[in-house]
Amino acid sequence: MKLVISGAGGKMGRALIEAAQADPGFEVAAALDAPGSAAVGCAVGGVRVETDIAAAASRGDAFVDFTRPEGTLAHVAACVAARKAMVIGTTGFSAAQHGQIEAAAKRVAIVLSPNFAVGVNAVFKLAETAARILGDDFDVEIVEAHHRHKVDAPSGTALRLGEIIASALHRRLDEVAVHGRHGDTGERAAKAIGFHAIRGGDIVGEHTVIFAGAGERVEVAVRSQSRATYALGALRAAKWLHGRAPGLYEMADVLGLK
């Protein structure tokens, strides 16, 4: 299977290229980065990094994208034009941008996930199960930690956890989400779902859901120690997409968790 990998000059792009080259089922057909990147024109894992999105997309069977929302949408347009499947791990999309991806998925198959690590997706399911069992008697707080260079907060993974838990508890996340606390906040709202973001050093990614009740606390946590977990999950999604009908899928579809 031939892959096009974007963001090739970044840490995630390099991890994807390394993982793909270690798997005999893949060939890295093209590596992309944004114009002006120091990686353009250089070889990453023996693959020359280029900027021509349309030309790169035409050479692959699937396009793997972990970049920024604006870049991802340009890649989506190229994949629609070339009728190529996509794996999208970019986070931080606005509602309008997400709508553009949904429209594109009517024409090509797309797996969109805030986190492709298999362990993280197991935690999505565990958090949903815990929320259904514990119900409204337990307060929910989500704490996430990432490296100092991450530009969006809370992380897409934390927000997805919030969405899953809110749905399990029959709440609307946009109505109950509380992002950090400062000053005289008053008593905690009974159905609030709190988010707290930590940024520092080279933390790859940590997520903890705290269900705090009277007399006991349940925690569901996952700590990613290497970007390889994200890369391997993304490649698993790319394999799953082969021959798949157009549609917007998530990692739960890939793992058979639905």
Q: What is the mean pLDDT of residues 65-72?
A: 96
Instruction: List pLDDT tens digits, range 94-107.
Output: 999 999 999 999 99
8 Å CB contact between 242 and 61: yes
Q: What is the mean pLDDT of residues 80-97?
A: 96
Q: What is the mean pLDDT of residues 11-33?
A: 96
Instruction: List pLDDT tens digits, range 194-231.
Output: 999 999 999 999 999 999 999 999 999 999 999 899 99
CATH topology of domain 118-224: Dihydrodipicolinate Reductase; domain 2 (3.30.360)
d(Cα 154, Cα 162) in Å, to the nearest integer?
10
Domain ranges of the chain: 2-116+227-255, 118-224
150 belongs to the catalytic site: yes
146 belongs to the catalytic site: yes
pLDDT score recorded for residue 258: 79
Q: Which residue out of 11, 150, 191, 239 is catalytically annotated?
A: 150
pTM value? 0.83
Work out the pLDDT band at 187, boundaries 50, 70, 90: very high
pLDDT score recorded for residue 179: 97
8 Å CB contact between 62 and 87: yes
What would be the CATH architecture of the domain defined by 2-116+227-255?
A: 3-Layer(aba) Sandwich (3.40)
d(Cα 102, Cα 248) in Å, to the nearest integer?
6
What does the mean pLDDT of the chain come to?
Answer: 96
- Report whether pLDDT(71) > 90: yes
2-116+227-255 and 118-224 in the same fold: no
pLDDT score recorded for residue 191: 98
Q: Which residue out of 146, 147, 149, 258 is catalytically annotated?
A: 146
